[in-house]
Amino acid sequence: MLGRFLEANRRASRYLEAHLPQARVNTQRIYQETVAEYMNARPRQVVVDVGGGKRCSFAHHRVPELGTKIVAVDVSAEELAVNTDVDEKHVADVTDGLPVGDEEADLVVSHSVLEHLTSVRPFVADTHRVLKPGGYTIHRFPSKLAPFSVANRLLPRDVSRRLLRALIPGSSGRLGFPAHYDSCTDHGMRRLLEEEGFEIVSSRVSYYQSDYFEFALPVYVVSALYEIVISALKLRPLAATVVVVARKSVAG
């Protein structure tokens, strides 16, 4: 009975989602399309997919004739073992440095990785090291001031993981990992990148996060109204997710 009740709430929430302007800004799609654009801009590029895991979300955008090489880096050997989308795999903790030589990469990208790093600055500095002059780094991450991020920090880890498994189908093994959100705001990440020698090319935000609460329609409605207000006021620090693109200067 509980399952049917939750599913009814999800259906109603998804119906509302189709009519919410903030839900049309999909940073997951923006991230994939942005990486594809830069990846296919020149031939024979080396793309480092940080947190590559079981699959590479943008590999299917590769233009075969360009000879792009995708290198996946992840802490999990088990997940990398089943990744057939990439050309090279490295098991490594990026907080200890990227397993890439100086100025070997054209792109360093990540999706939902930065929030899990205890300190983002060493990773950004090492990204600058491995990128060729004029290379780009692209990241999608949740903002630490979004309500779901605040809840993730406040709830005990075991409680948050059980809630995720119970309320968000398919979240087991995907969500609920320890998150620190160091520098994980639009302004905070742009400032950090600039301090480490990058030029900001673009930064896009989405205020939509209500899908986390679609199992409870009243909560979903309150969350959606909150998003409408903060997006109308352009309160970027309160955005749900951010996609940032930064460039290493040609001078290095």
CA 115 to each of CA 10, 24, 120, 180: distance values in angstroms, whole numbers, following the listed order: 27, 23, 8, 6
Q: What is residue 161's predicted lDDT score, i.e. its pLDDT?
A: 57
pLDDT, averaged across the chain: 90
Could you tell me what percent of the chain has a pLDDT over 70?
Answer: 90
Indicate the residue type of 23.
A
Supply the pLDDT for residue 212.
83
Q: What is the pLDDT of residue 156?
A: 66
Q: What is the 3-state secondary structure (H, E, C) of 58-126?
A: CHHHCCHHHCCEEEEEECCHHHHHCCCCCCEEEECCHHHCCCCCCCCEEEEEEECCHHHCCCCHHHHHH
Q: What is the average pLDDT across 5-13?
A: 88
pLDDT of residue 147: 84
Integer Cα distance of 63 and 42 in angstroms: 10
Cα gap 73→97, rounded to integer Å: 11
Q: What's the confidence (pLDDT) of residue 151? A: 75
- pLDDT band with cut points at 50, 70 and 90 for residue 153: confident
Predicted local confidence at residue 148, as pLDDT: 79
Kindly state the average pLDDT of the residues 159-179: 52
Q: What is the pLDDT of residue 227?
A: 96
Higher-pLDDT residue of 234 and 1 is 234
Which of 11-25, 111-125, 145-159, 192-206 has the lowest average pLDDT? 145-159
DSSP letter string over the chain?
-HHHHHHHHHHHHHHHHTT-GGGG--HHHHHHHHHHHHHTSSSS-EEEEET-TT--TTGGG--GGG--EEEEEES-HHHHHT--S-SEEEE--GGG--SS-TT-EEEEEEES-GGG-S-SHHHHHHHHHHEEEEEEEEEEEE-TTSHHHHHHHHS-HHHHHHHHHHHSTT-TTTS------TT-SHHHHHHHHHHTTEEEEEEEEE---GGGGTTSHHHHHHHHHHHHHHHHTT-GGG-SEEEEEEEE-TT-
Rounded CA-CA distance 29/33 in Å is 6
Question: Given a cut of 50, is residue 87 above it in pLDDT?
Answer: yes
- Asked if the model's pLDDT at residue 176 lies above 80, the reply is no
Nearest-angstrom CA–CA distance, 171 and 174: 5
- d(Cα 198, Cα 125) in Å, to the nearest integer? 10
pLDDT given at position 159: 55
Q: Which residue has the higher pLDDT, 155 or 47?
A: 47
Q: How many residues does the chain have?
A: 252
> How confident is the model at residue 241, as a pLDDT?
95
**Domains, in order of start, for the chain:** 2-248 (3.40.50.150)
